[in-house]
Structures are given as C-alpha cells and as structure tokens.
Amino acid sequence: MIIGVLALQGDTREHLHAVADCDAIGRPVRRPDELDSVDALIIPGGESTTISKLAVEFGLLEPIRKRIAGGMPVYGSCAGMIMLAERLLDARADQVPFGGIDMTVRRNAFGRQVDSFEGTVEIEDIDGGPFSAVFIRAPWVESVGDGVRVLGRVSDGPAAGRIVAVRQQHLLATAFHPELTGDLRVHRYFVEMVREAGQTTEG
C-alpha cells in the first residue's frame, strides 16, 4: 500500500510522517508519473489557491480528477477539504478544485490566521473519544448532497454545530489538521479505507 501526499505546497512532511506511523508507505507526489505510482492520495493543509494554481502548472489537475472519478481513495485536510469540494464560497474566481465530494465549502470560514484555535470534535466511526482539533484559517462545510455522510461537527463555542468532517464513498475530508497533533486516528481510518478499496479491486 503506497499513499501519496500531494507535495505542491503545505504541510506535506507531517502527513508523510503520520502515514509511516500507520505502517504504510508514504511518497510525495509532484508529477503525474508519481501520481500513477500510488494507491491513494492525501491533499494537505496549506493555501488552497496556491495548490490549485500549482496543480494546473504541474499538470496534475486532470490526472487527479480522473483518479478520483476512478475510485482512488483521497483524504483532504483543511485546504485539502476545499480542493475536494464540488462548490466553493468566498473563493477566487480562478480557483479550480479537484472536486469529488458533493458539498459546498466556505473558505476561511473560521476567520483569519489570528483566529486559529483548537476545538473539540467527535468523529463518527472513530473510537477513542473526541479529537482536540486544530483549525488554522479553516473552512467549514455549508451543505452536503444526499451521498455525503457528515462524520463530525464542532462540539462547542461560537462555531458549534458546523460540519468539519465528511465522507463520500472513497473520499474523506476534515477542516482540521490531525497531522499536527500526533493523534493518528484519522490517518488510521484513511489507511483502512485504502485497504478496503484495494480488497474490493482485487475481489
């Protein structure tokens, strides 16, 4: 099992470490041929407009879209959630997401960098109690389509009830950064998604 981490911009290294700690092989992905060599992909946090621009420049936009449509498991955190959305609010006119999850996401929904915070989030399907989730210029999900499962919402504070974790079949997205806390449960959940997808393909 080889899990790629999109290495155009953002906290790539932290996700690679988390993948390795989950006993999987992680590889940075910057070119289409590197994408071809992985079974799944993580889109890290960072600046979504920059990731979008560089994906076009590096020839990765359409290849990633095709792999998503073909069933490749993908996990996006923060900016990665934005990149997996079908619809964006407060985005630049020239920003192009990969799409895949039938959801509307609002960029920088929690405010600017100075408004970054840690909040409590409980995630369905993941045992061990609530997450201490780090939100940095984070998005939230305004609405989802019928095929999307809401896995997590902010538990308390002024943003209580806002959707911050979703899954649609082979695609997973969180508004927060589990790679920054040392809590590997989201990454382990995604590794299991990848394993299940591989078993389905082999079967």
Model pLDDT, residue 91 = 76
This prediction has a pTM of 0.93
Residues near 97 by beta carbon (within 8 Å), at least 6 away in sequence: 48, 52, 82, 83, 84, 85, 86, 88
Q: Which residues are catalytic?
A: 78, 177, 179
> Which residues lie closer than 8 Å to 95 by C-beta, 6 or more apart?
48, 49, 52, 88
Nearest CA among 66, 73, 4 for reference residue 35: 4
What mean pLDDT is reported for the chain?
A: 89
Q: 100 is written with which tokens?
A: 């895949």
Q: Summarize pLDDT for 154-164 with one digit per residue, the tens.
A: 887 777 788 99
Decide the pairing of beta strands 74-77 and 40-43.
parallel
